[in-house]
Amino acid sequence: MQIVTANGAHIPALGFGTFRVPGPEILKILPLALKVGFRHVDTAQIYGNEAEVGEVLKNSGIPRGDIFLTTKVWVDKFADKDFIPSVDESLKKLKTDHVDLLLLHWPKSPVPLADQIGSLNALVDAGKVRHIGVSNYNTALMAEAVRLSKAPIVTNQVEYHPYIDQTAVLSAARSYGMSVTAYYLMADGRVPKDTLLQDIGARHGKTAAQVVLRWAIQQQGVIALSKTSTESRLAENFAVFDFSLSAEEMDAIHGLARPDGRIVNPGNLAPAWD
Catalytic annotation, residues: 47
256: Cα separation from own chain's centroid: 22
DSSP secondary structure of 153-168 = EEEEEEE-STTS--HH
d(CA 274, CA 271): 9
Intra-chain end-to-end CA distance of the chain, in Å = 32
Report in angstroms the alpha-carbon separations of 93 from 64, 79, 96, 165, 266: 15, 21, 8, 36, 27
- Which of these, 85, 96, 11, lies nearest to 51 by C-alpha position? 96
Residue 182 three-state SS: strand
As a dihedral over the C-alpha atoms of residue 262, residue 263, residue 264, residue 265, rounded to 10 degrees, the angle is 60
Helices (H), the chain: 23-36, 50-59, 80-94, 113-125, 139-148, 167-175, 195-204, 208-217, 231-238, 247-254
Q: Are 161 and 184 in contact (CB under 8 A)?
A: yes
116: Cα separation from own chain's centroid: 19
Q: What letter does residue 259 receive in the DSSP assignment?
A: T
**98 carries a ligand binding annotation:** no
From the annotation, which residues make up the binding site for substrate? 105
From the annotation, which residues make up the binding site? 105
